[in-house]
Structure 1
Amino acid sequence: MSANGVRPARAHASVDNLRTYLLAAARQAPDRPAVIQAAGSGLETVTYGELERRTDRIAEQLDALGLDVGDRVILEADTDADTVATFLACATVGLAFVPASPEAPDERLLTIIESAEPALHLQSLQGKRDCVPDSVGTARFGPDGLVVERAPEPRVRRRRAVTPIDTAYITFTSGTTGRPKGCVMPHRGIIAFLRGAAAEELITHEDRVASTAPFQFDFSLFDIGFTLSHGATLVPVPRARLNWPRRFLGHLNDAGVTQVDAVPSVWRPVVQHESEMLSDLGDSGTLRRIVFSGEAFPMDELRTMQKLLPKVAFTNGYGATETMAASITPVPNPLPEGVERLSIGHAVAGAEWTLVGPDGAIVDGPGVLGEIYLRTPSLFSGYWNDPEATRACVVPDPLDTASGRVVFKTGDLASMGEDGELYFHGRADSQVQIRGNRVELGEIELRVNQFDGVTGAVALVLPRADGDPQLHAFVTTADGAEPDTKELVAFCRAALPAYMIPQGVHTVGEFPLTPNGKVDRAKLSALVAS
């Protein structure tokens, strides 16, 4: 509010804003399909013109609530046209949206609300969440706009314009402290990555891209951004169909999908149960590309996929939430004999990386392990309300410390190939990937350790016979008795998302230690193998 009591003019989308960038096709070709989505037993097409109209309708309604640029909004939904319109409306008026899963436990959502201090909680008309604190406004969204249930508390509006450095979204991922960690992404950073990725020329406006990741996972935001920025068509795969291979493939076929973006584990049940149907989809000539990211693709499974889809191009995406991604690398189909590790290639256009050894020296030659330091315009603003964690990974450029330029210290280990391409070798810390989701094992260990009677906990991800990774928890107890596994799992489920729930619980008398006094995780793994 200004000194004379007049509220500043509504903040509006400006240059390098997600709304203006992703809806460019609405001005050039408003009748082109933007989203093809499930609707009852059939499909519904939402054009770019209609998507823009829905966006503007919601933006006006959000503006009427008096929220200021930078205020946070929880956006709890699965991906569909209305979800896309809602987050583009947030971008229009400068609200930072926080994606959340409808499947997240109440306790986890409340933890995110406590951290982000949102002004408003938005969910789809089908949403069922009723635990939102009274201090947070609530509303539902649909094709006709917002239905406000509880207006947000009055805010002071000081801003007039949305700038490229303003926050577009905050993605909360697993954190080492036992609480979700928020990655703050500005409009400028997201668009910088999307422009760099466009140089890879993966799709055109004629493509139909299937998105399989849940909305709160940054892979989903990549799918949306990459597709709409090309004027192509987004095809969200409903969660219920994704879990049934025949329904999943049927949805791809019905929608005429040309590209599927998915973590590798999505394909495992498809290959096991519907390999012939998958092969037929590839033979049709409609499906042209599969992009995978978020976790390693086991070589034997990838080779099986390529045998079923010899005409389909495969692309390996690598990167972190803090930079949206880092590289997009073509994978030969078929893989040459003897290939045991996929290349992550070179950084996307506009970005570059350097390998730094454990002694701080720059790695210049092939075969030497080092940590990836990434210099990129798509760098996040920092971790929400955590300057210490931000300073630990946003560091001076090791090649030019005097300039003041900063780079992202990824925590990822890699080696260099003969042509300068990189090969990923895992993490330097306890972070792992489970079905494409970034997980800090320390967060799981902290929760398990809070269970009554447990005195110590160690979490490990171990492979199953079918190749699917499985999360195990090893515990010590006060009296040596085994805890009730069902109760322990239920205790975890109350606070953690499904992909962070231990599937195996093992009681040990004490944790084996290495000569350095650390838990010997290899010996714990051997207990399961035996």
Structure 2
Amino acid sequence: MSQRPDDTAAATGEFLHDVLLDPARHTPDHPAVVEPAATGAPTVTTYAELTATVNAHAATLRALELAPGTRVLLEAELGAESIAVLLACSRAGLTFVPVSPETPPDRLRTLIDTARPALHVRAATGERTDLPATLGTARFGDGELTVERAPAATARRRHVPCVADPAYIVFTSGTTGRPKGVVMSHRAVTAFYRGMLAHRIAAPGDRVAGTSPLHFDFSLLTLGLALGSGAALVPVPQRLVRWPRHFLRALRDTNATQVTGVPSVWRQVLRHEADRLSELAHLRGVLFCGEEFPLPELRRLQELRPGMRIVNCYGATESMAATFEDVPEPLPADLERLSIGHAHPGAELLLRDGDGALVDAPGTPGEMLLRSPALFSGYWDDPEATRAALVPDPLCPESGQVVLRTGDLAVRGEKGELYFLGRTDSQVQINGNRVELGEVERRLTGHPAVTAAAALRLPLPDGGGCLAAFVVTDPSGGARQPSRPGAAEAAPGEDIAATLRDFCARTLPGYMVPAELRVVDALPVTGNGKVDREALAASVAGPA
């Protein structure tokens, strides 16, 4: 008699759901998910309740007789109900593919054509009227998972899930215009969770607020941080994250002790709701990832919440993350760049120069190569891109082991710690000179009147290109002390663009001084919360 998939999955203890539901064995009555409410008290789901819902949903999915590894498109916001569905997929041996409910119809159809899911699952309140007739559909809500249209029957040659199977596929934007699917196995995800949890960032009793949408892999990092620590996850809806006062109210009402997210979630809070932020007595930790935290904003956050642990998380979707480094408090006055530290336990980061030689000496930049048990399996249906990203281990190519080419530049400090320099592809040519955009952005945010900056190359009508920068300013910045020596203050009435060009020219060569500099109210961001450089470029018809 062959083993049932659920028997095998329960026996190994190494699947995604095993790690995240383990607290149910020890503290079943503790909160697992605490959801902010529009009015009244938050909604609390205990570990026992979450586990019971996961088991019921898994039974519904198993009844569909889908082979292990079959894809399930999960179109939902992050919440207790969607978490139960994705964990049920894990328990049933299926691969979930998170998708935003705001996904345009054409892109959704592209994702369906690419991932070839058997089932589309959405919230009971959601609506999709243009799904292919061959795609199975289901809805979840009020603790129930209801199959509306069963998936088409297929030959089933596999019956037993394996930890090397894909746990999920996250689709990101691809350089070719085709969505790029990052495939993560159960073994990789659980290895990453264990490496992250070794840093003891959260603990039972904590309430970890996640600000990233479900289709962004940072939400899965937050899920592992919270549930893997026996803490509670506080999923903050995007409609609240976008409004500083509503965001802070959600943190207050749920007694959130920690917040994870990209640095930009704090920008408007620091500008408009500083007093309310300082009043959040329960908040004692922040973990950020996805891009660099502007140092002026980071200093302001420390001023408002002294003693709070702030963790700088670095990594890529292809490994979920790679490092976790505590931010020093206070930040040294002459600090120009935060350290990203060392790779998490069980992983290692190497540096390799442009000629392929490994870099050992401090101060010499190189591309980061990640050796880790938490590497992605590959890009979905794209072996060529997979081979370009997963390359032979340069220390022992004979072994067949691969490492991840991160595409990120870094330099080692005197103690072996790493400092992120920028993307290898963020280097642009200006009049034949190489310009690292991150260096320009760091210089601009060193001015006390600038809270955020983004640099990019804009094409000129007659060919070539010019260096452009977009900055967000704080009108009171001129009254504050410079963030580091040499930071000049803007004189009253002085043109800020001219002031910032002069400020850049003091330390940067002429070709790195932005020819086009515009002040904006806010930097546009993508759905993942990162600066949307394409939108900035599109906003400029040509150099002014």
Q: TM-score, normalised by structure 1?
A: 0.82
Match of 1:375 in 2: 371
Deviation string, structure 1 residues 231-288 (Cα, Å, up to 9, x no partner): 110001111111111111111111111110011000000011100111111xx2x211
Match of 2:336 in 1: 340
* Superposition pairs of residues 311-326 of structure 1, within 5 angstroms: 311-326=307-322
Q: Distance in 2 between matches of 1:114 and 1:458?
A: 38
Q: Secondary structure at the match of 1:378?
A: coil
Q: Secondary structure at the match of 1:131?
A: coil
Q: 1:19 aligns with which of 17, 28, 49?
A: 17
Alignment partner of 1:425 is 2:416: no
Deviation string, structure 1 residues 132-183 (Cα, Å, up to 9, x no partner): 2112111111233212222111122232322110110000001111111000
Q: Distance in 2 between matches of 1:425 and 1:201?
A: 27
Q: Distance in 1 between matches of 2:409 and 2:115?
A: 31
Report the residue type matching 1:463 in the other structure: F
Q: Distance in 1 between matches of 2:93 and 2:277?
A: 42
Shift of 1:506: 3.8
Shift of 1:119: 0.3
Alignment partner of 1:212 is 2:211: yes
Q: Distance in 2 between matches of 1:214 and 1:296?
A: 19
Task: Check the 8 A contact 2:206/2:232 in 1, yes or no.
Answer: yes
5+ residue gaps, structure 1, are: 1-5, 434-444, 446-453, 468-492, 509-526
Task: Check the 8 A contact 1:8/1:157 in 2, yes or no.
Answer: no
Match of 2:512 in 1: none
Shift of 1:328: 0.4
Q: Distance in 2 between matches of 1:209 and 1:388?
A: 38
Q: TM-score, normalised by structure 2?
A: 0.80
Shift of 1:214: 0.6
Q: 1:9 aligns with which of 4, 10, 19?
A: 4
* Superposition pairs of residues 342-361 of structure 1, within 5 angstroms: 342-361=338-357
Report the residue type matching 2:471 in the other structure: R
Match of 1:365 in 2: 361
Shift of 1:399: 1.3
Q: Secondary structure at the match of 1:297?
A: coil
* Superposition pairs of residues 55-66 of structure 1, within 5 angstroms: 55-66=54-65
Match of 2:296 in 1: 300
- Provide closer, same or farther for how the CA distance between residues 462 and 217 of structure 1 changes in structure 2, counting only shifts above 3 A: farther
Shift of 1:15: 2.7
- Provide closer, same or farther for how the CA distance between residues 457 and 311 of structure 1 changes in structure 2, counting only shifts above 3 A: same
Q: Cα RMSD (Å) of the superposition? A: 2.7
Match of 1:448 in 2: none
Q: Secondary structure at the match of 2:134?
A: coil
| Fraction of identical pairs, as percent | 50
Shift of 1:296: 0.8
Shift of 1:460: 9.8
Shift of 1:500: 7.7
- Provide closer, same or farther for how the CA distance between residues 157 and 457 of structure 1 changes in structure 2, counting only shifts above 3 A: farther
* Superposition pairs of residues 196-211 of structure 1, within 5 angstroms: 196-211=195-210
Task: Check the 8 A contact 1:172/1:183 in 2, yes or no.
Answer: yes
Deviation string, structure 1 residues 352-385 (Cα, Å, up to 9, x no partner): 0110011111111111110000100001100000
Task: Check the 8 A contact 1:35/1:234 in 2, yes or no.
Answer: yes
- Provide closer, same or farther for how the CA distance between residues 180 and 404 of structure 1 changes in structure 2, counting only shifts above 3 A: same
Report the residue type matching 1:241 in the other structure: L
Q: 1:463 aligns with which of 462, 470, 476?
A: 470
Q: Distance in 1 between matches of 2:102 and 2:465?
A: 25
Q: Secondary structure at the match of 2:349?
A: strand
- Provide closer, same or farther for how the CA distance between residues 346 and 274 of structure 1 changes in structure 2, counting only shifts above 3 A: same
Task: Check the 8 A contact 2:5/2:161 in 1, yes or no.
Answer: no
Shift of 1:28: 1.4
Match of 2:122 in 1: 123
- Ranked by relative contact order (alpha carbons within 8 Å, sequence separation 6 or more), the top structure is 1
5+ residue gaps, structure 2, are: 428-436, 439-457, 475-525
- Provide closer, same or farther for how the CA distance between residues 92 and 212 of structure 1 changes in structure 2, counting only shifts above 3 A: same
Q: Distance in 2 between matches of 1:227 and 1:386?
A: 33
Shift of 1:498: 11
Q: Distance in 2 between matches of 1:461 and 1:105?
A: 31
Q: Distance in 2 between matches of 1:18 and 1:391?
A: 26
Report the residue type matching 2:392 in the other structure: P
Match of 2:277 in 1: 278
Q: 1:502 aligns with which of 535, 540, 543?
A: 535
- Provide closer, same or farther for how the CA distance between residues 296 and 459 of structure 1 changes in structure 2, counting only shifts above 3 A: farther
Q: Distance in 2 between matches of 1:27 and 1:459?
A: 60
Q: Distance in 2 between matches of 1:460 and 1:23?
A: 50
Deviation string, structure 1 residues 294-325 (Cα, Å, up to 9, x no partner): 01111111111111111211100000001110
Alignment partner of 1:330 is 2:326: yes
Q: Secondary structure at the match of 1:112?
A: helix
Report the residue type matching 1:348 in the other structure: H
Shift of 1:462: 4.6
- Provide closer, same or farther for how the CA distance between residues 423 and 189 of structure 1 changes in structure 2, counting only shifts above 3 A: same
Q: 1:415 aligns with which of 385, 388, 411?
A: 411
Match of 2:178 in 1: 179
Alignment partner of 1:240 is 2:239: yes
Q: Distance in 2 between matches of 1:10 and 1:345?
A: 41
Shift of 1:16: 0.7
Q: Which moved more, 1:127-136 or 1:21-30?
A: 127-136
